[in-house]
């Protein structure tokens, strides 16, 4: 366990240049590959017309790629033909420092050119206490950010938890997915994670803010949400069922049930299928934003005043209210949709594009059953709080149970997915920025939203392909002793071995189309 903990906390040291000591987190030089990454990120932008949103996406992409402020990054930006000072002025570091000058990810804030915060002390260079998902232990539920979500530590423990779930679960477990994890560009996940009232991971969180929001809406506005739910119900269900072929193919790979002559998954086929899934999700999100935006534009002064009393990120300001809609008149899926829309209407209205673009570390590659392990105990349990440490703790224990070659297959995924995660940050922010235009007008480029969602899905498809391949390679080398140890780590959240889940609702396992097309054979083109 000590070895694994050290692995999670350690970052590669950068070489010193000249006689000046290197500040913690500062990159003095970049490798040729890192410089190429900088150039690739910047190639998507016109240096003569950069906006603040562009600069924020660029900085997010740099951080997601493991590129930190310093002379090395400064020079690489200039070599790519851009002005690093202009990017810094458009999007300065977020004002989320604690008393010692550390940012939310536990690193010191660096100014232009990589200068260290003058208030920082040598004590700051020491590793900071963090929870098991990589967030700094500062009390409350602080430390959540895109930088944290894409950090090596958060990603490694999340990937490891996925691996544990996949190697000890079954097809039914893998179909489980919380409804709020799709079309999620409205800031709800961020509001949940940063809640000062520490209610964010309690089963009553969504219900409380949704009912508060519905209580503020007039009858016409509430009916808009109900009508939207009924309209989107078929698409919401279809999206869930379309995930099943990917889940089935990944399970077949793990179990060695490949088509005749197949050598493994077909990366391109998986990416294309995932792109189609995300395009469908993007269409749902577009329509959702269209309706939510029209409601926002119709708020009167009294409603705006009432909304000001409900603080974003502080559930202590949300009073208890009873149900505001007639659940009996709606199907389960439609009722869940209305409550989801209402909660997201508040987080979207009261939040920001940064919150909309945010995702939790486990937000991608959602086909491996980890949500079942984490969330299933909360189902049907009012006022139940889901542990925020289960992912990290179980992930570390999973890694510790593996041999060194097996462990390298898992830890290597952090590097393998790095560029995809960086691109995902950019795509999410671009989608969120477009959807927010519905708050001020009724015309938004639908084709662009769907295209960005498709590109987003392609990236998530590649990440899922990488996970499934590595997990299957580890699984087929597990000893009987290791399998027994992993089963114990899974604990009481047992496999179901029957049925499936339409998001979190138990349903009969549907007929799944033949998944042979998702596998690579020697005759296929590369």
In this structure, are 117 and 186 located in the same domain? no
Count of domains in the chain? 2
pLDDT digits (tens, 9 = 90+) for 314-354: 999 999 998 888 888 899 999 999 999 999 999 999 999 99
278 alpha-carbon distance from chain centroid: 14
pLDDT of 258 higher than 50: yes
Helices (H), 129-187: 146-149, 152-168, 171-175
Residue 334 pLDDT: 94
Residue pair 312/350 in contact (Cβ under 8 Å)? The answer is yes
- Confidence band, pLDDT 50/70/90 cuts, at residue 45: confident
In this structure, are 385 and 248 located in the same domain? yes
- The number of helices, as runs of H, and strands, as runs of E, in the chain is 22, 4
Least confident piece of the model among 24-28, 247-251, 289-293, 301-305: 24-28
- Confidence band, pLDDT 50/70/90 cuts, at residue 20: very low
In this structure, are 119 and 156 located in the same domain? no
The three-class DSSP label of residue 23 is coil
The reply to whether 141 falls in a domain is no
The reply to whether 501 falls in a domain is no
In this structure, are 241 and 384 located in the same domain? yes
The reply to whether 180 falls in a domain is yes
- Cβ-proximal residues to 515 (8 Å cutoff; 6+ apart), any chain: 245, 248, 249, 252
Q: What are phi and psi of 404, to 5 degrees?
A: -60, -45
Answer with the residue of higher pLDDT: 184 or 179: 184
In this structure, are 350 and 453 located in the same domain? yes
Residue 66 pLDDT: 66
Distance CA 147, CA 54 (A): 17
Q: Three-state secondary structure along 292-354?
A: HHHHHHCCCHHHHHHHHCCCCCCHHHCCCCCCCCCHHHCCHHHHHHHHHHHHHHHHHHHCCHH
In this structure, are 89 and 159 located in the same domain? no
In this structure, are 231 and 117 located in the same domain? no
Q: What are phi and psi of 218, to 5 degrees?
A: -85, 175
Residue 48 pLDDT: 82
Residue 322 pLDDT: 86
Q: What are phi and psi of 136, to 5 degrees?
A: -65, 135
Average pLDDT for 232-245: 96
Residue 19 pLDDT: 37
Helices (H), 446-498: 446-475, 480-490
Least confident piece of the model among 29-38, 255-264, 453-462, 501-510: 29-38
Percent of the chain with pLDDT over 90: 60
Residue 471 Cα distances to 172, 326, 521, angstroms: 18, 45, 20
- Cβ-proximal residues to 490 (8 Å cutoff; 6+ apart), any chain: 164, 165, 168, 169, 373
pLDDT of 298 higher than 50: yes
- Confidence band, pLDDT 50/70/90 cuts, at residue 136: very low
Dump the DSSP string for 108-137.
BPB-GGGPBPTT--GGGGSPPPB-TTS-B-
The reply to whether 165 falls in a domain is yes
Neighbours of 46 (CB within 10 A): 7
Average pLDDT for 91-103: 41
Average pLDDT for 497-517: 92
Average pLDDT for 192-217: 90
For residue 157, give both structure tokens: 């423990």
In this structure, are 88 and 184 located in the same domain? no
The reply to whether 345 falls in a domain is yes
pLDDT of 97 higher than 90: no
Answer with the residue of higher pLDDT: 476 or 498: 476
Enclosing H/E stretch for 58 = helix 52-64
Residue 337 pLDDT: 95
Answer with the residue of higher pLDDT: 27 or 293: 293
Residue 440 pLDDT: 96
Residue 14 pLDDT: 37
Compute the residue count for the chain.
526
In this structure, are 207 and 275 located in the same domain? yes
Average pLDDT for 271-286: 98
Residue 384 pLDDT: 59
The three-class DSSP label of residue 264 is strand
Residue 61 Cα distances to 23, 39, 147, 157, 429, angstroms: 22, 12, 9, 21, 11
Residue 107 pLDDT: 29
pLDDT digits (tens, 9 = 90+) for 378-394: 666 666 566 567 787 88
- Cβ-proximal residues to 175 (8 Å cutoff; 6+ apart), any chain: 240, 243, 244, 247, 500, 501
Residue 451 pLDDT: 97
Residue 131 pLDDT: 35
The reply to whether 131 falls in a domain is no
The reply to whether 139 falls in a domain is no
| pTM for the whole structure | 0.74
- Cβ-proximal residues to 352 (8 Å cutoff; 6+ apart), any chain: 187
- Confidence band, pLDDT 50/70/90 cuts, at residue 472: very high
In this structure, are 103 and 179 located in the same domain? no
Closest by Cα among 252, 4, 35, 150 to 463: 150
For residue 511, give both structure tokens: 């007929």
Q: What share of the chain is helix, strand, coil (3-state, %, to 5)?
A: 60, 5, 40
Average pLDDT for 114-139: 32
pLDDT digits (tens, 9 = 90+) for 361-381: 888 999 999 989 887 666 666
The reply to whether 59 falls in a domain is yes
Residue 91 pLDDT: 77
Residue 525 pLDDT: 53
Answer with the residue of higher pLDDT: 192 or 48: 192
In this structure, are 460 and 373 located in the same domain? yes
Neighbours of 53 (CB within 10 A): 16
Task: Supply the range of the domain harboring residue 75.
Answer: 20-125
- Cβ-proximal residues to 452 (8 Å cutoff; 6+ apart), any chain: 282, 427, 430, 431, 434
Name the domain boundary from 89, 110, 125. 125
* Residue 70, Ramachandran bin (φ over 0: left; ψ between -120 and 50: alpha; else beta): left
Distance CA 120, CA 155 (A): 27
Q: Mean pLDDT for the chain? A: 82
Closest by Cα among 7, 151, 133 to 65: 151
pLDDT digits (tens, 9 = 90+) for 409-440: 999 999 999 999 999 999 999 999 999 999 99
pLDDT digits (tens, 9 = 90+) for 303-314: 999 999 999 989
- Confidence band, pLDDT 50/70/90 cuts, at residue 11: very low
Residue pair 349/242 in contact (Cβ under 8 Å)? The answer is no
Distance CA 186, CA 435 (A): 9
In this structure, are 239 and 297 located in the same domain? yes
DSSP letter for 47, please. Answer: G
- Cβ-proximal residues to 13 (8 Å cutoff; 6+ apart), any chain: none
């Amino acid at each position: 366990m000590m070895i694994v903990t050290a692995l999670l906390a350690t970052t590669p040291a950068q070489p010193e240049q000249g006689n000046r000591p290197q500040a913690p987190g500062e990159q003095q030089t970049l490798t040729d590959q890192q410089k190429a990454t900088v150039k690739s990120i910047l190639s998507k932008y016109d240096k003569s017309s950069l906006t603040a949103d562009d600069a924020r996406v660029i900085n997010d992409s740099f951080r997601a790629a493991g590129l930190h402020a310093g002379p090395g990054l400064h020079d690489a930006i200039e070599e790519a033909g851009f002005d690093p000072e202009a990017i810094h002025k458009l999007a300065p570091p977020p004002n989320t420092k604690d008393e010692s000058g550390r940012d939310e990810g536990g690193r010191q804030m660096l100014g232009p050119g990589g200068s260290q915060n003058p208030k920082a002390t040598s004590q700051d260079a020491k590793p900071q206490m963090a929870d098991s998902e990589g967030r700094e232990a500062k009390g409350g539920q602080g430390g959540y950010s895109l930088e944290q979500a894409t950090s090596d530590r958060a990603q490694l423990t999340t990937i490891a938890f996925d691996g544990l779930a996949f190697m000890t679960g079954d097809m039914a477990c893998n179909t489980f997915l919380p409804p709020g994890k799709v079309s999620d560009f409205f800031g709800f996940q961020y509001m949940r994670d940063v809640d000062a009232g520490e209610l964010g991971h309690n089963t009553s969180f969504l219900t409380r803010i949704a009912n508060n929001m519905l209580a503020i809406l007039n009858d016409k506005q509430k009916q808009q949400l109900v009508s939207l739910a009924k309209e989107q119900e078929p698409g919401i269900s279809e999206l869930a069922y379309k995930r099943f072929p990917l889940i089935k193919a990944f399970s077949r790979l793990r179990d060695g049930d490949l088509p005749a002559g197949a050598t493994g998954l077909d990366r391109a086929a998986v990416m294309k299928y995932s792109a189609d899934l995300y395009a469908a999700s993007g269409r749902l999100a577009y329509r959702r934003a269209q309706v939510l935006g029209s409601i926002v534009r119709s708020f009167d002064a009294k409603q705006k005043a009432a909304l000001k009393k409900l603080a974003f990120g502080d559930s202590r300001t949300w009073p208890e209210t009873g149900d505001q809609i007639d659940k009996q008149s709606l199907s389960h899926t439609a009722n869940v949709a209305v409550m989801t829309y209402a909660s997201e209407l508040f987080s979207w209205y009261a939040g920001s594009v940064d919150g909309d673009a945010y995702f939790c570390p486990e937000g991608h590659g959602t086909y491996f059953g980890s949500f079942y392990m984490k969330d299933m105990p909360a189902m049907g349990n009012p006022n139940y709080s889901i542990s925020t440490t289960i992912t990290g703790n179980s992930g570390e224990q999973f890694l510790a149970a593996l041999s060194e070659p097996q462990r390298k297959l898992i830890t290597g995924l952090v590097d393998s997915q790095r560029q995809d995660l960086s691109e995902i940050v950019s795509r999410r922010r671009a989608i969120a920025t477009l959807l927010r235009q519905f708050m001020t007008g009724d015309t938004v480029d639908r084709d662009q939203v769907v295209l960005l969602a498709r590109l987003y899905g392609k990236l998530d498809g590649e990440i899922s392909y990488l996970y499934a391949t590595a997990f299957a390679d580890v699984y087929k080398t597990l000893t009987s002793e290791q399998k027994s140890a992993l089963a114990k780590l899974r604990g009481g959240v047992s496999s179901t071995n029957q049925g499936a889940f339409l998001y979190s609702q138990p349903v009969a396992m549907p007929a799944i189309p033949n998944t042979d097309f998702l596998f690579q054979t020697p005759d296929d083109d590369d």
